[in-house]
A and B are shown apart, each in its own frame.
Chain A
């Protein structure tokens, strides 16, 4: 299959972008993508006749990303930067534990989630998550690892992991409120 190298060339930037998003480290992302491309080049027969070569490549990339997390487990381990920080919840809730600002109605999920522009805003919000929260959140939401496995790879307790996933969601929610739901429809 002679056009495999050309296809890889075209898809490489996308693979790199998502590898960075997951790993939050330039060098590791480069390694994961290189390993993905090498694996693909070794198996031209697996590529032949695929309707969705990108899906195939992303599938390989996800395995390589887990490998990278494993390889750099110590550097990925959770520090106080995100692990213990309660400031976000303190900002959202009053001392008595009530919402300072009542959450607003975001409308029909089906109607919202099918809009490409909304998905682009969501993508940007995921990118803005702090390093450790972003890594953990995408291990769960993109790599679709079970919580037990994430705990094992990152040496965190389940309680700590749940708190981090919660903080990631709170941040994402703030970002979406600010950049999508809080805007007038014509400003989106």
Chain B
């Protein structure tokens, strides 16, 4: 994996963070990208919000009325 990645590639890594531990090279590439990109940090906050929301949804399905 190259160190300079596009938003499209960064978005995949941002999603992958939720499913697996990223190897250091991918972590580094993502970190570097997040420092120079305006869109991807916002995208990452959205994805994390969705992750929290799914936790709420799960509680709502499993325990809610």
A residues with a Cβ closer than 8 A to B are 18, 52, 54-55, 58-59, 89, 92-93, 96-99, 102-106, 109-110, 112-114, 118-119, 122-123, 126, 140-142, 144, 147, 158, 161-163, 165-166, 169-170, 172-173, 176
Decide: B19 and A162 in contact? CB cutoff 8 A: yes
A96, closest chain B residue (CB): B6
Q: Decide if the interface of chain B is mainly helix, strand, loop or mixed.
A: helix
For the A-B complex, the count of residue pairs with Cβ-Cβ distances under 8 Å equals 103
Q: Is the CB of B19 within 8 A of A147?
A: yes
Known: A58-B62, A102-B39, A142-B61. A93 touches B46 (CB 8 A): no
Residues of chain B whose beta carbon lies under 8 Å from any beta carbon of chain A: 6-9, 11-12, 15-16, 18-20, 38-40, 42-43, 45-50, 52-58, 60-63, 65
Given contacts A97-B9, A118-B53, contact A165 B42 (CB under 8 A): no
State whether A58 touches B49 (Cβ < 8 A): no
Q: Are B63 and A103 in contact (CB under 8 A)?
A: no
Quick one: given A119-B53, A126-B57, are A97 and B20 in contact (CB under 8 Å)? no
Residue among B39, B56, B58 making CB contact with A114, cutoff 8 Å: B56
Contacts of A59 in B (CB 8 A): 62
Is there an interface contact between A166 and B11, defined as CB atoms closer than 8 Å?
yes
